[in-house]
Structure 1
Amino acid sequence: MDTTQWLLEGDPAIRWQVLQDLEDADPDAVARERARVAREGWGAALLAARGPDGQWAGGAHFPKAKPVLPGQPWTSTAHVLTELRLLGVDPADPAVREAIADVARVTRWEYDDEPFFEGEVEPCINAALVTNALYFGVEVDAIVERLLGERMADGGWNCDQERGSVRSSFDTTIGVLEALAAFEREHDDPRVREARESGEEYLLERGLMRQRSTGEIPKPTYVQLAFPPRHEYDVLRALEHFRAVGARVDERMREAIELVRSKRRQDGSWAADVVHGGDAVVDYGAAGEPSRWITLKALRVLRWADGEAQSVAASEAAAPDASAPR
């Protein structure tokens, strides 16, 4: 199978990212394809699911008409905004701008009835809010300040901190790292950079997948690739973060990189290992089936990782031999 051609046969949300990240296409061609996300396919379906009250499923996080159990509902405003960001919908599209304006006007958190863009209390929820808000052009400096203050002694973050946890978690830390990286793309703040780097070091010290104390993999989902990732951590999500911030490949990433590489199927695609359950607006495919999303993410991570390795090798080859006589 021609993997790239198979990807280009997918949804506009896939196509524009393939053109940009794998094909190095002309920016105008990328922009034209990206503009289709709000009007066709998955992106259009997400926008169309907005209710007459201007928000999704009647609330910020937990749809009022849906039980929380047995499965997490993924149809509410916070989750749909995350999916629209992951699809890369154009924030300047009129339908998107209207939706964000309505959310700012109407949506309030179920926890304390505060306006949506003023944030909640848990760092995992606030992290996603920051990443989404900045993507859609909403400033949330006060929530970033709160995240900076919630960093734990080991360098990461944990939603269970308020319930007594003294150690960070992979799941919360990756969400906060994405938020801080989004903030850094628009603001030069050394405190944010230092906090991001401390969280990255937290993950690197654990090889992106293992407990530091025992070397065990704490949760099977850490090595199971999923789209959308929801609140869950996995090694591909972590590698996507390091790629996005332009990091150099660290040897402590190597096991995770090779794990992703090993999951490639004989036809050149990757499958979703797991689908995080619960009601959802869009079905992106079943677990065990070839996934355009996982394939796109894996290919661009490997392109970055292999390119970095080649760059380092070339630099070392060109460097003068310090032991050679002068």
Structure 2
Amino acid sequence: MIPWLLDSDPALRWQVERDLAHEPPEVWEATRARIATEGFGARLLAHQDPDGQWAGGAFFPAGFTGQEDGQPWTATTWSLNTLREWGMDAGVLRGTAELLAENSRWEYDDLPYWGGEVDCCINAWTLANGLWLGADVTSLASWFPEHRQPDGGWNCEWVSGSRRSSVHSTLNSLKGLLAFDIATGGTAASHASRRSGEEYLLERGLFRRLSTGSVIAPWTTVFAYPFRWFYDVLNAADYFREAALHDGTAPDPRMAEAVELIRAARQPDGTWLQAHRHSGRVWFKVDVAAGEPSKWLTLYGSRVLNWWDSAV
């Protein structure tokens, strides 16, 4: 399986080398450096506008009216998320933070880009992207403790009156807070908020309702790459893997049932299949069609199981 995974784009290959093949840093760092000059990374960089944005917009492309099929994934925030998650060296995007500060405004209330807006998922991505690119996003780090729900997580619909957390919003918020803790060491407030959000998901075993124990929804165990803003137990488990490695902690046993669902989805040949593609405009496709073995999902699934099994 590893030779199959290594025959891939540098954005994926370097992670296989580091996390599954356990190559020395000089090997995977050399592969990661190629993201900027070949394959997916170079193609996505080529679509950046002279003003620092992608597709002329912060969260939606310029001219988006909501009439097309699915949410478009081409605008600035989605492009930055993708390049960061692929491991692009921030130095390649030198000057982008300043260009976005000058030229990019949120579609919500025309707010300045690096100040974020009211959606916790958007603010989490902006926090992580700003830390990566060297923008001043300190105000966003303190936004999350102030907007946590009473049950410990977050919900992007809080501005419309929601007082209950969402697994989607909570996971995305946690990723932003983890990026902050990794980059800066964090604060007492960020640590407490991250623990609270993690507890919200762990109390539910990552996929069950706290009130009844029933499965939250079928989509919790349906895996599709890219993950985008969508929640599933593989996406969540990989967050907990990264958080545990940063914190120096063991896997939480409350994840056991979710991990076994991930294991059950593994095919006899060791791969995971793509369930579907999230609809919406893209610059180009980065993974296989539904029903085919996905190298991206196989990377995520394999490293989650390796992490979990090594601690048992």
TM range (shorter): over 0.9
TM-score (norm 1): 0.90
Report runs of 4+ in structure 1 exceeding 6 Å deviation.
none
| Matched residue type, 1:277 | S
Return the offset for 1:267.
Answer: 2.1
RMSD, aligned α-carbons: 1.4
Shift of 1:65: 2.4
Number of positions where the alignment pairs a residue of Structure 1 with one of Structure 2: 305
Which residue of 4, 10, 21 corresponds with 2:8? 10
How far did residue 10 of structure 1 move?
Answer: 0.5
Conserved? CA contact 1:82–1:132, under 8 Å: yes
Higher mean displacement: 129-138 or 40-49: 129-138
- In structure 1, what is the Cα distance between the partners aligned to 2:133 and 2:225? 21
Q: Which residue number in structure 2 is paired with residue 137 of structure 1?
A: 134
SS at match of 1:303: helix
Aligned pair in 2 of structure 1 residues 135, 53: CA closer, same or farther (>3 Å)?
closer
Contact 2:52 2:99 in 1 (8 A): yes
* Structure 1 residue aligned with 2:263: 261
Alpha-carbon offset, residue 135 of structure 1: 2.3
Quick one: distance in 2 between partners of 1:100 and 1:126?
A: 15
Q: Within the alignment, does 1:75 sit opposite 2:74 as a pair? A: yes
Q: Secondary structure at the match of 1:54?
A: coil
Structure-1 residue corresponding to 2:205: 207
Query: Residues 215-254 of structure 1 correspond to what in structure 2 (within 5 A)?
Result: 215-246=213-244, 247-254=249-256
Counterpart of 1:288? 291
Give the percent of matched residue pairs that are identical in Structure 1 and Structure 2: 45
User: What's 1:180 paired with?
Assistant: 177
Does 1:55 pair with 2:57? no
| Counterpart for residue 86 of structure 1 | 85
Q: Contact conserved, 1:71 with 1:278, CA < 8 A, in 2?
A: yes
Between stretches 112-121 and 296-305, larger displacement belongs to 112-121
1:246-286 residue CA offsets vs partner (Å, 9 max, x unmatched): 24222210111111111111222111223211001131221
Unpaired runs of at least 5, structure 2? none
What is residue 276 of structure 2 aligned with on the other side? 274
- How many Å separate the matches in 2 of 1:29 and 1:138? 30
Answer whether contact 2:118 2:159 (CA < 8 A) is retained.
no
User: Separation in 2 of the partners of 1:101 and 1:35?
Assistant: 23
Listed one character per residue, the Cα deviations across residues 146-198 of structure 1 (whole Å, up to 9, x for unaligned) are: 11100011110001112121110000000111111111112341221111011
| Alignment deviations for residues 206-230 of structure 1 (CA, whole Å, 9 cap, x no partner) | 0101111122222322111122211
Partner Cα separation in structure 2 for residue 203 and residue 73 of structure 1: 28
Gap regions ≥5 residues in structure 1: 310-326
Measured in 2, the distance between the counterparts of 1:219 and 1:58 equals 35
| Residue aligning to 2:42 | 44
Give the Cα separation in 2 of the matches to 1:78 and 1:54: 11
- Cα distance between partner residues in 2 of 1:9 and 1:261: 23
Contact 1:134 1:140 in 2 (8 A): yes
**TM-score between the two structures when normalised by the length of structure 2:** 0.94
Shift of 1:287: 1.9
Mapping of 1:118-197 within 5 angstroms?
118-185=115-182, 186-197=184-195
Q: Report if aligned partners of 2:97, 2:134 keep a CA contact under 8 Å in 1.
A: no
